[in-house]
């Protein structure tokens, strides 16, 4: 014996998955029966299991979905078979019947076409492979960060070289570098010293960087931006 869901839960489930009422009604189990009402599992279960896979493929996978199966309401469709063969223009009912016979889904791939173009495919497999490709693309994608190196007008040689090594490492990792000098008090009267320091710093990093924005005063700060050179 097979028990039904409660009425409230069954209605919510059936509304969210359009093929559930069709299948449950077809095989003798209404999703709207009273709680704990039973049906004969011997007659229901084999047929329902046979169709369960096609029902599962209809469940929504993401917020932006292509129209599939019973969601497609167009009177006529141009249909492409699972092997890429053109099947021509036919009614949505005939197209759905062909997909069901193959145990696959009818997916609208070009809704703006006249008539809309649909393809017979395994939609669950398609979405799985698509998600896998997107994951690989994200993994291989490098996010460029903006790193900052702070200098001073009276920076000594050792500190200057250390800052340059940090900048070169950032650039070799594919990141951009903002080089800054903070002017304090009377230092504001000697911007030429800052320009000379910036010039030397850009020359040290020239093998790995291009000067994206030359040194320029912004308030009490002198800023210069370096970008990594394109890979050869």
Give me the chain's average pLDDT, please: 77
Percentage, residues of the chain above pLDDT 70: 71
pLDDT of residue 66: 83
Residue that wins the pLDDT comparison between 104 and 20: 104
- Band (pLDDT 50/70/90 cuts) for residue 47 is low
Residue that wins the pLDDT comparison between 121 and 9: 121
Whether residue 28 is predicted with pLDDT greater than 50 in this model: the reply is: no
SS (H, E, C) 73-97: CCCEEEEECCCCCEEEEEEHHHHHH
**Distance between the two ends of the chain, CA-based, in angstroms?**
70
pLDDT of residue 159: 93
pLDDT of residue 64: 56
Residue that wins the pLDDT comparison between 159 and 231: 159
Q: What's the topology of domain 146-228? A: Translation Initiation Factor IF3 (3.30.110)
Indicate the domain borders of the chain.
2-56, 69-137, 146-228
Between vectors from CA 116 to CA 56 and to CA 14, what angle results, nearest 5°? 30
Q: How far apart are CA 186 and CA 219, in angstroms?
A: 14
Q: How far apart are CA 161 and CA 150, in angstroms?
A: 12
Please give the CATH number for the structural domain made up of 69-137.
3.10.20.80
pLDDT of residue 44: 47
- Band (pLDDT 50/70/90 cuts) for residue 142 is low
7-30 burial code (b ≥16 CB/10 A, e <16):
eeebeeebeebebbbebbeebebe
- Count of alpha carbons within 13 Å of 221, Cβ hemisphere only? 11
Mean pLDDT of 189-216: 91
pLDDT of residue 67: 86
Mean pLDDT of 217-224: 92
Pairing of β 86-91 and β 105-110 = unpaired
Per residue in 61-72, pLDDT tens? 333 578 888 889
Mean pLDDT of 210-230: 91
The torsion angles phi and psi of 91, rounded to 5 degrees, stand at -70, 155
- Band (pLDDT 50/70/90 cuts) for residue 200 is very high
- Band (pLDDT 50/70/90 cuts) for residue 157 is very high
- Band (pLDDT 50/70/90 cuts) for residue 180 is very high
Closest of 37, 39, 44 to residue 7, by C-alpha: 37
Mean pLDDT of 88-112: 91
Q: How far apart are CA 212 and CA 80, in angstroms?
A: 50
- DSSP one-letter string for 184-227: -GGGGG-HHHHHHHHHHHHHHTTTTEEEEEEEEEETTEEEEEEE
Q: How far apart are CA 16 and CA 159, in angstroms?
A: 65
Mean pLDDT of 113-138: 88
Q: How far apart are CA 69 and CA 61, in angstroms?
A: 14
């Amino acid at each position: 014996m097979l028990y039904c869901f409660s009425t409230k839960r069954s209605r919510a489930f059936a509304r969210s998955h359009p093929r559930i009422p069709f299948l449950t009604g077809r095989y003798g189990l209404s999703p709207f029966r009273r709680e704990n009402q039973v049906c004969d599992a011997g007659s229901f279960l084999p047929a329902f299991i046979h169709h369960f896979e096609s029902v599962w493929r209809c469940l929504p996978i993401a917020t932006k979905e292509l129209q599939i199966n019973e969601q497609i309401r167009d009177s006529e469709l141009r249909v492409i078979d699972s092997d890429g063969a053109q099947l021509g223009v036919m009614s949505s009912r005939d197209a759905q019947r062909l997909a069901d016979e193959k145990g696959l889904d009818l997916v609208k791939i070009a809704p703006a076409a006249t008539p809309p173009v649909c393809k017979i495919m395994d939609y669950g497999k398609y979405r799985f492979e698509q998600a896998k490709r997107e994951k690989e693309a994200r993994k291989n994608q490098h996010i460029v960060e903006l790193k900052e190196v702070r200098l001073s007008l009276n920076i000594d040689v050792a500190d200057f070289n250390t800052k340059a090594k940090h900048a070169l490492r950032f650039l070799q990792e594919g990141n951009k570098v903002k080089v800054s000098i903070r002017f304090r008090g009377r230092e504001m009267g000697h911007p030429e010293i800052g320009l000379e320091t910036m010039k030397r710093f850009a020359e040290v990093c020239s093998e790995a960087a291009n000067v994206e924005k030359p040194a320029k005063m912004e308030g009490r700060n002198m800023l210069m931006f370096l970008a990594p050179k394109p890979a050869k």
